[in-house]
């Protein structure tokens, strides 16, 4: 069966393009969209590779208290924030310690050189899009149920 899979958050419609997916169910269509399409997009790769505390995937794990003005000027406070970020990454990846280690190595390398890129397998990005809450607003609608109006 064919499903139209799209993002219902509204604010990302310009960057997360809808797709028609062949699948056995709505949940299978969403999973296929995440794994076969979304995980391979430059947008997702850029989002994951961005290690700044202000945006990107790394931001999801950056402690909010560390955003206060002047907090990062103190090396001890910065180290504490980085430890909290590391703990958040470990929690997110759970049993996939290999993915957590890969991402933490990337974060540490990017702190010294912002041009360092992440050499990760496609399954790594698929894991993120399937488990990160920002990609939970995907819906699948059977194409046969879409009404066309003129």
Q: What angle do CA 112, 118, 121 make, to 5 degrees?
A: 160
Structural domain boundaries, residue 128: 2-145
Is 46 domain-assigned? Answer: yes
User: pTM of the full predicted structure?
Assistant: 0.82
Whether 30 and 141 have beta carbons less than 8 Å apart is answered as no
Give the total residue count for the chain.
Answer: 150
Report yes or no: 5 and 140 within 8 Å, Cβ to Cβ: yes
Is residue 22 one of the residues assigned to a domain? Answer: yes
Cα–Cα dist 125/39, whole Å:
5
Our count of domains for the chain comes to: 1
Task: Spell out the per-residue pLDDT of the chain, length 150, in tens.
Answer: 999 998 876 554 446 788 999 999 999 999 999 999 989 988 889 889 887 766 788 888 988 777 776 666 788 888 898 899 999 999 999 999 999 999 999 999 988 888 888 999 999 999 999 998 877 788 999 999 999 897
Residue 150 included in any domain: no
Q: What is the rounded end-to-end Cα distance, in angstroms, of the chain?
A: 25
């Amino acid at each position: 069966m064919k499903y139209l899979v799209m993002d219902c958050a509204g604010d990302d419609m310009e960057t997360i393009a809808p797709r028609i997916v062949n699948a056995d169910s709505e949940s299978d269509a969403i999973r296929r969209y995440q794994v076969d399409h979304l995980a391979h997009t430059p947008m997702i790769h850029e989002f994951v590779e961005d290690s700044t505390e202000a945006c990107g995937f790394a931001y999801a794990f950056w402690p909010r208290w560390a955003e206060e003005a002047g907090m990062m000027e103190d090396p001890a406070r910065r180290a504490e924030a980085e430890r909290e970020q590391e703990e958040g990454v470990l929690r997110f990846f759970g049993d996939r310690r290999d993915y957590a280690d890969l991402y933490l190595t990337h974060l540490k390398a990017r702190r010294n050189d912002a041009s360092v890129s992440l050499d990760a397998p496609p399954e790594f990005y698929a894991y993120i899009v399937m488990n990160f809450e920002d990609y939970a607003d995907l819906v699948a609608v059977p194409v046969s149920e879409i009404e066309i109006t003129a």
